[in-house]
Amino acid sequence: MPPPMIVMGRVIAAFGVRGSLKIEPLSSEPDALSRYRTWYLRKFGDDAWRRREVEGVRLQGTALVAELAGIADREAAALWRGADVAVPRDALPPAGDDEIYAADLVGYRVVNREGVALGRVQAVTEAGAHPLLAVEHEGGMRLIPYVPAIVTGVDREAATIEVEWGEDY
């Protein structure tokens, strides 16, 4: 079983005829993923991570183009379209004092400014303009934008996120 993963990109297409993958970086530094020699890929709807050694990677515009071991032609590369690209959490440098990895928020309690418990973070997803906290509660799931206007505080020691969000939203 692989260690906990941090998703850092998504395969958007096959690239060329030799099995390269075109990858949309999801980190604030587009080439951050290129620093790692081993990646893990997970197809949409699958829980299993597949380890792949990086044979080559380069920045092309805002995307990465990568050659991975075991993916030798365009047809094989096309099968990975939509897959998440991740590295083990413990391979990343420590977050700065005012930073936190989105994956580290999973499991945090979410409370509003009035102290009402809204649930626990089950996932942090990218939704274009900003990340969303998928917060599970008794009644199901709520999505809360992870933006400064709504997230008013993150307490790492208490594993709690304070939000400006109503219980009935």
Q: Amino acid identity, residue 161?
A: I
Buried b (16+ CB within 10 A) or exposed e, 69-84: eebeeeeebeebeebb
pLDDT of residue 150: 97
Low-confidence stretches of the chain (pLDDT beneath 50): none
pLDDT of residue 65: 98
Q: Amino acid identity, residue 85?
A: V
pTM score of the predicted model: 0.72
CATH of 5-91, one of 2.40.30.60, 3.40.50.2300, 1.10.3720.10, 1.20.1050.140: 2.40.30.60
